[in-house]
A and B are shown apart, each in its own frame.
Chain A
Amino acid sequence: MSTVVKAAGTPTSAKAQAGEIVVSSVGKSYGEGQFVKEVVKDCSFTIERGKLTVMIGPSGCGKSTLIRLLAGFEKPTSGSIKINGKPVTGPGKDRLVLFQESALFPWMTTYDNIMYGPRARGEDTKEARSLAEMLLDKVGLRAFRKKYPTQLSGGMQRRAELARAMINNPEVMILDEPFRGLDAMSKELMWEYYSRLYEESGRTNFFITTDIDEAIFLADRLLIMTNVPTQVRAVVEIDIPRPRDLVSLVDDDRANEVKMEALSLLHEEAMKSFAGGSKAAADFIEAYSKRLRTKKE
């Protein structure tokens, strides 16, 4: 097998670069005393500059907790998170998070939502406004600039939110299962759309998902997580050339090889929590073992 699977837990000590995030020995637990629940344990990885790193793991494994730590909404119980060599102390516009469900402000039109960041910082300038216009075109929402979020489809809302994040020109974009809940068709369209935006910008992206097809289509690097308390189980470099296209990826040997390997690791992790009686994990096993079987046949 030619896949490069590195042992996890070796934080790179490379020189700090713009948009590089180094997570070292991070732990996070909630509650106190006998009710303490360890969600993240001794977790280390690096989000490399200019790359699209995808994190995949069983649902309920603590990925969203990691996002909140990276975004600075919460502080780790132990260990450290550094961006460009400086410790993360709180939220900042160098890292922007796209949440699972739309967090567009319902009382603002598409245009006002996109302009929120610049206006909030008192930068309602000509440059910001023309950037907003450009982004409206880029995400294909020019005709919907005066519509409220409830008037947009699920896919449009995600695109509006991408634009609202991009106008702030963050060094890192963090996306927490952003396309969850979209129908299969819009989801695949969003993958192509989003990967094109990423390829154009060359910005550091960190993407969280539970969908293996999504992960392989998008990722430069794939972090496979263990079950809760979460750690990096394996790092897979996905060296399929860009731009990728969904149809040819189905028959791509390299893609299928990575997929099989990732699935067997995920399956193993999911089994562990199944022993612990987690409902989410049981669902996960069922879904993935079905896919594994059909693949092997």
Chain B
Amino acid sequence: MSSSRRSFFHRSTLRAFVSILVFVALWEVGARSKQWFGIAVPWVGNIPAPTAVLHVWMGLVRDPGYWQSWYLSLLRVLAGFLTAMVIGIPLGLLMAVSRNFNDTFFPTFEMLRPIPPLAWVPASIIFWPTQELSITFVTFLGAFFTVVINVLGGAESIDVRYFQAAQAMGASKWDTFRRIVLPATVPSIVVGSSVGMGITWNVVVAAEMISGGGSQAGGNGGGLGYFIWNSYVGGAYEQIVVGMISIGIAGYICSELLRMLGGYLTPWLRTR
């Protein structure tokens, strides 16, 4: 802990700050003067300047509708992601452990897997009774396939010597599953879930844009995806950028929390 706190002011942190500052500065200059040191950059000029974005953002922070968008998107991401974990992890493990189960379900799974989650949006809107459920379902699909494929791959690549050792020491099938297969697969579960979390954010925003942001469409309560779309339709360009940065921050927080949880679940990988 103390070492990571000290490294906060380390060179790499400094470089990260400089990098962001230079990026924002170039953006500001380009957006305001439509040129970089004499070279015309027309497209940067079409983007609102960071100071303008910040100004609008400061106003939005006091708007409950903005936070409602955060809340709704986060809720959908969590619902979709957690469902994907709850169904995906046992399914992946079952496919890894049982030959018969794998033979039965893997072909169907592999056929559904290449279908992009967004291709499910229209069908999902027709299938599910509420808009909310349709969006959550599409979000679920985004994480589900990644989680299953990672769990399956992780469990299948466990070194056979671990099984032989356990078997020779008198372990039952159940004990082998609980104390060999499960912990050996945890690193893959962690990787699968962090990749899945990223996809979930990609998908939820797009689904909100397409479906019109749920039952409260028209107001400010349709999630961050709808927030961006609505800002675009209304010509509030600064708000578009605010929405984009908000998604970036939300995704980063989710990934960081998952990384912390993953580190806690795999103490043997933290060592050395």
A107-B184, A120-B175, A148-B271 known; A97-B164 Cβ under 8 A? yes
Q: Is the CB of B164 within 8 A of A73?
A: yes
How far does the alpha carbon of A149 sit from the alpha carbon of B161 in the complex, in Å? Answer: 15
Q: Does A290 contact B (CB under 8 A)?
A: no
> How distant is A119 from chain B, measured CB to nearest CB, in Å?
8
How far does the alpha carbon of A93 sit from the alpha carbon of B169 in the complex, in Å? Answer: 5
**Which residues from B are CB-within-8-Å of A151?**
271-272
Q: Is the CB of B164 within 8 A of A117?
A: no
Q: Does B186 contact A (CB under 8 A)?
A: yes
> How distant is A73 from chain B, measured CB to nearest CB, in Å?
6
Q: Is the CB of B168 within 8 A of A96?
A: yes
Residue in B closest to A73 when the chains form the complex, CB atoms: B164
Q: Does A95 contact B (CB under 8 A)?
A: yes
Which of A91, A103, A107, A116 has the largest count of B CB atoms less than 10 A from its CB?
A107
Q: Is the CB of A91 within 8 A of B164?
A: yes
Q: Does A99 contact B (CB under 8 A)?
A: yes
What is the interface size of chain B, counting residues whose CB is below 8 A from a CB of the partner? Answer: 23
> How distant is B167 from chain A, measured CB to nearest CB, in Å?
5
**Which residues from B are CB-within-8-Å of A108?**
183, 268
**Which residues from B are CB-within-8-Å of A202?**
none
How far does the alpha carbon of A227 sit from the alpha carbon of B167 in the complex, in Å? Answer: 30
**Which residues from B are CB-within-8-Å of A96?**
168-169
How far does the alpha carbon of A108 sit from the alpha carbon of B178 in the complex, in Å? Answer: 13
Picked from B166, B179, B268, the residue with its CB within 8 Å of the CB of A106 is B268
Q: Does A121 contact B (CB under 8 A)?
A: yes
Contact residues, B170-225 vs A (CB, 8 A): 170-172, 175, 179-180, 183-184, 186
Q: Does A92 contact B (CB under 8 A)?
A: yes
Q: Is the CB of B170 within 8 A of A120?
A: yes
Q: Does B101 contact A (CB under 8 A)?
A: no
Residue in A closest to B268 when the chains form the complex, CB atoms: A148
A107-B183, A148-B268, A150-B271 known; A71-B168 Cβ under 8 A? yes
Q: Is the CB of B170 within 8 A of A117?
A: yes
Q: Is the CB of B168 within 8 A of A95?
A: yes
> How distant is A260 from chain B, measured CB to nearest CB, in Å?
36
Q: Is the CB of A105 within 8 A of B180?
A: yes
> How distant is A209 from chain B, measured CB to nearest CB, in Å?
19
Q: Does A168 contact B (CB under 8 A)?
A: yes
Which of B159, B183, B268 has the largest count of A CB atoms less than 10 A from its CB?
B268
Residue in A closest to B171 when the chains form the complex, CB atoms: A120
Q: Is the CB of B161 within 8 A of A103?
A: yes
Q: Does B59 contact A (CB under 8 A)?
A: no
**Which residues from B are CB-within-8-Å of A93?**
168-170
Q: Is the CB of B169 within 8 A of A107?
A: no
**Which residues from B are CB-within-8-Å of A150?**
268, 271-272
13 contacts between A and B (CB under 8 A): A93-B169, A95-B168, A99-B164, A99-B165, A103-B162, A103-B165, A107-B268, A120-B170, A121-B169, A148-B271, A150-B271, A164-B169, A168-B169
A97-B165, A107-B184 known; 18 other A-B pairs, CB under 8 Å? A71-B168, A73-B164, A93-B169, A101-B161, A103-B159, A105-B165, A105-B180, A116-B179, A120-B166, A120-B169, A120-B171, A120-B172, A148-B267, A148-B271, A150-B272, A151-B272, A164-B169, A168-B170
